[in-house]
Amino acid sequence: MPELPEVETVCRGLENNIIGKKIASVFISDKKLRLPFPKNFSTDLKNKTIISVKRRARYIIIELDKELNILVHLGMTGKIIYQTKTPTPSLHDHCLISFSDKTSIIYNDPRRFGLIDLVKTSEIKNHKMLKNLGPEPLSKEFNAKYLQSKLENKQMNIKTAMMDNEIVVGVGNIYINESLFQSGISPLKAAGSLELNQLENLIINIKKILKKAIELGGSTLRDYVNLHGDVGGFQFNFAVYGRTGQKCIVCDGIIKKIKQNGRSSFYCPKCQH
DNA sequence: CACTCTCCCTGAAAGC
DNA sequence: TGCTTTCAGGGAGAGT
């Protein structure tokens, strides 16, 4: 499941491989992703050149010439695969962009939770999916004072609050579970009840974990983009995620699994308070 | 306004 | 073994 580090990895891979290339042809499937493909998608893209690849939250923004941008969200199961030979669309391939040098990128997404849209440069900031997003987790803007101001008086549990994209973007289920564990904070704790130093600690751990994951993702970047379309050697050793019933790695507590707002939370009841 | 629930979707895994 | 059920989860929008 692509969380922010994976999206960042994909962006860097695209940056290294498709900048300056000219789009020769575009194929789209007849199935719709979270939203249908924009009208005239294929014809609008034809003969455009890739200028840059950027990321905002978990969205990939592929900038083209003529003030046009492809907005991509990988959802749960979306993948972008770069190929140097002419591909034929296979199962769950929903968008295939071929360049004039015969290379291509393929968007594959079995569950179709992903999203592909076309946005004018002047309209990016006001795009429905982007306009209400909070700060990037690795930015200076995401600090304890800021977080305290957003969480004060909130009764909602801290875990759910941290997954709210208006508070901070790109902190998915796995990473918030791990970050709360590293911070010794129970996912059940009311968001507004945390002390400033606890928030500081939580933020440090979120940044640390995300950075580490990006580093690991980055190290296998070449494989990811060019060969298999999956993250090969990228392994994160989770302390709590998916470890229901197993022993805590720091005390003799047993990892517990609960549901919060329809999402699984994993924590050690003995060392997270 | 604050918060929770539902839905979208397929495939892997668990249950029977 | 094979069928059925559950679960996974990002994010918008509906519901309370």
What would the mean pLDDT of A112-134 be, rounded to a whole number? 90
Nucleotide nearest A130 (Cα, C1'): C11
Quick check: is A87 catalytic? no
Task: Evaluate whether A73 touches A1 at the Cβ level (below 8 Å).
Answer: no
Task: Evaluate whether A148 touches A114 at the Cβ level (below 8 Å).
Answer: no
- A50-98, pLDDT tens digit by residue? 999 999 999 999 999 999 999 999 988 888 989 888 778 788 899 999 9
Nucleotide nearest A176 (Cα, C1'): C9
Q: Is the CB of A261 under 7 A from strand B?
A: yes
In the structure, how far is the CA atom of residue A186 from the C1' atom of nucleotide C2, in angstroms?
Answer: 42
- A149-187, pLDDT tens digit by residue? 999 989 899 999 999 999 999 898 888 999 999 999 999
Q: Is the CB of A156 under 7 A from strand B?
A: yes
In the structure, how far is the CA atom of residue A202 from the C1' atom of nucleotide B15, in angstroms?
Answer: 38
Name the pTM for this structure. 0.91
Residue A49 DSSP class? B
Nearest of A139, A161, A135, A265 to residue A207 by alpha carbon: A139
Quick check: is A5 catalytic? no
pLDDT at A218: 53
